[in-house]
Amino acid sequence: MVSKIKIFISRFAFLPILTMGSCTHPTLIEKIRYAQYLPENSVQTISYSKEEFSDLKKLIILVTRNSVGQNIPKFKVGRYSAELISEDKKFYWYLSPLPNSVGPYIVIADRPKNNLVFEAPHPIKDRATGLQAVLLLKALEARAAIISGNDRCAASTKSICSGKTRVCGDKLTSYPVSDPAHSVPNMFHSTHTLFSQLWPNALFVQLHGFSGKGTDTLFVLSDGTRGKRNNHPGIVAKVRDNIRKSLILSKIATSCQDYQDDQFKYRKVCGRTNLQGRQLNGSADICHKSAFTSSGRFLHIEQQWSVRKPVRDFGYDAISNEYQKALIGSLYAVAPCIDNCINAYNR
């Protein structure tokens, strides 16, 4: 039942803010779980306009620069709404497309401690990765999370970018334009690019899921490049080694950048055609050309269902699961901090 109505006027929008009476507000992870995603095979293409992204950019700039006070808990700009949510005595902005609009769901922490951004470009096909992005955002006190607002197979039109897949059918074909990790332009990638410019030292962690038939490997890690050598150093190796140490088994986590890991016969789901990875790694043509040298700013994580399932089943309580604990600890060890650095990696 609506108890009162507040009116908020800005240079961007005029929106009545409804303050609800005694009711339980859904958590961030529940919002992502029950969000309205554009379903598989539902459209011919995904529309994109610079004007719509310009409105979303204005909204992001407003909340990241703390230009909106906590006395304005909800407002809109263009086709997006922003809602300030309090969880565990911390505040987060939840940005979501308005009804009949298409775009990513975005969570931005009000006072982050670590220079991390989590991404879930395939929250439907790679089950529970959208929920996991929120879980990791909170656990690691990261800057933001971006979750795609559509099934990667929503559109029938094919991307002109390089790469082939069978994920949307039996035949090996080009990725659909509804797959934000393999097609541009789209709101997901534009948001990713904006965040990479706003936070030039942030590490972007992109979460994926894979079928683990025929392999014991639970985590396949990569930096999105074609660079590979024996005992390859860098972010990928550090996270892999920390996961192995936590779970006490080498083949549990592998690196696409290290020839030594070929002995484990893991699936080569290495993100080399991933556009966000190519962008961060400095490809001259992200649609068609892979990168060969890592910038150290992109970490692509493929995970078996057994890793992701506890997040689907238990939400925030999955933080006590052994796989999530191993991942959280491993990412914390390499997380670039924003200020007051305390771990060895950031000193």
* Per-residue model confidence as pLDDT tens digits over 240-291: 999 999 999 999 999 999 999 999 988 899 999 999 999 999 999 999 999 9
In the numeric block, which tokens belong to residue 105? Answer: 């769901």
Residue of 121, 82, 92, 99 whose CA lies nearest to 35:
99
Share of the chain above pLDDT 90, in %: 82
pLDDT for 11 equals: 30
pLDDT for 230 equals: 87
266, 231 in Cβ contact below 8 A? Answer: no
Region of residue 322 (phi > 0: left; psi between -120 and 50: alpha; otherwise: beta): alpha
pLDDT for 341 equals: 64
pLDDT for 213 equals: 81
Enumerate residues 6+ apart whose C-beta is below 8 A from 81: 74, 75, 95, 96, 98
175, 161 in Cβ contact below 8 A? Answer: yes
pLDDT for 20 equals: 33
- Angle at 106 (CA atoms; ends 103, 109), nearest 5 degrees: 165
In the numeric block, which tokens belong to residue 181? Answer: 């990790």
Q: Helix H segments across 159-213?
A: 187-198
Give me the half-sphere count of Cα atoms (radius 13 Å) on the Cβ side of residue 142.
29
How would you label 201-214 residue by residue, b for 16+ Cβ within 10 Å and e otherwise? ebbbbbbbbbebee
Could you tell me the residue ranges of all domains in the chain? 2-340
CATH 3.40.630 is right for the domain spanning 2-340: yes
User: Amino acid identity, residue 338?
Assistant: I
Which contiguous run of DSSP H or E holds residue 266?
A: none
pLDDT for 4 equals: 33
Give pTM, 2 decimals. Answer: 0.91
Residues of the chain with pLDDT under 50: 1-23, 344-347
pLDDT for 343 equals: 52
pLDDT for 265 equals: 85
pLDDT for 67 equals: 81
CA–CA distance, 88 with 71 (Å, rounded to integer)? 19
Q: What is the pLDDT of residues 194-221, one digit of tens each?
A: 999 999 999 999 999 998 788 899 999 9
